[in-house]
Amino acid sequence: MRAVASQSLAWFDAGLGLVYPEFCQLCRAQRATAHDGFVCAKCWTHIRFIRPPFCERCGLPFPGDLTTPFECTNCREMELHFSAARSAVVAKTVVLEAIHRFKYQRALWFENFLADLLGREAAPALREQTWHLIVPVPLHPLKLREREFNQAARLAAPLAAATGIPLNETILRRVAPTATQTLLTRAERAANMKNAFAVRPGTSLAGKNIVLVDDVFTTGATTNACARALRGAGAAEVCVWTVARGI
């Protein structure tokens, strides 16, 4: 199965190379191939991978020199339904631009780049524990029809292939067409997401450990609402992995 996936990816990269010139789609000044996700080495230098210290619960980087685990004030004040959230990189500069263009401008050539960032950090960590399913944060059917693809699902698939953890895109549904979160406060985001997600009727997740995948973690309102639905269906543990973390 992995051999078939690798061959398919090679053909996909070759097809992209025929359609798009082999230069960086961010700075447009340096050479970059489909295999690179059309992001050059110079733009890579602007990427900031998240390293300790960070909040043990939500993964928020802490600009200090701490030697013991800690939980940030926001997490202590919230009712969180996921055990921990982690992100590969900080949501700034080239990463944020790539995500926005991937989601809103159908710049699908950035998929390799973003999936690679997620896989580099998430795959080794996930192999250290037992996880039963990878579940992408779903889009509402109206939004999916408008966008024509779910960016979380596109990023979750390579992670599932890299870890051997089964991907399931159907057990979690978005049942409310919520307003965009971009300009909302933390409290407004949480209220906006309330009852927005539901597990498919008749689904039992008893004893299952689930990895929830999305593109960006900001306040955690979306992933927390998803985790609440999954835990309500019996999931033993839910962790969150995203490509980028807003700070």
Same domain, 224 and 114: yes
Same domain, 20 and 59: no
pLDDT of residue 54: 93
Four-CA torsion 164, 227, 185, 145, nearest 10 degrees? 60
Give which of 1, 39, 28, 220 is closest to 115, Cα–Cα.
Answer: 39
Phi first, then psi: give them for residue 136, nearest 5 degrees: -75, 150
Please tell me the total count of domains within the chain: 2
pLDDT of residue 120: 98
Give which of 31, 177, 163 is closest to 39, Cα–Cα.
Answer: 31
Residue 243 parent element (H or E): strand 237-245
Same domain, 151 and 101: yes
> Are residues 223 and 189 in contact, defined by beta-carbon separation less than 8 angstroms?
no
Whole-angstrom distance, CA of residue 156 vs CA of residue 213:
6
Q: Is 62 left (phi over 0), alpha (psi -120 to 50) or beta?
A: beta
Give which of 208, 187, 216 is closest to 79, Cα–Cα.
Answer: 187
pTM above 0.85, yes or no: yes
Same domain, 37 and 115: no
Same domain, 196 and 152: yes
Same domain, 80 and 138: yes
3-class secondary-structure state, position 59: coil
Same domain, 62 and 18: no
The whole domain housing 84 covers: 50-245
Same domain, 21 and 143: no
Question: What is the block-wise mean pLDDT of the chain (247 residues), using blocks of 10 residues?
Answer: 50 55 91 89 96 93 78 88 98 96 94 96 97 97 94 98 98 84 71 87 95 96 96 97 95
Q: Mapped to the 3 state alphabet, what secondary structure does 106-166 carry?
A: CCHHHHHHHHHHHHHHHHHHHHCCCCCEEEECCCCHHHHHHHCCCHHHHHHHHHHHHHCCC
> Are residues 34 and 20 in contact, defined by beta-carbon separation less than 8 angstroms?
yes
Same domain, 178 and 194: yes
CATH of the domain at 179: 3.40.50.2020
Same domain, 28 and 99: no
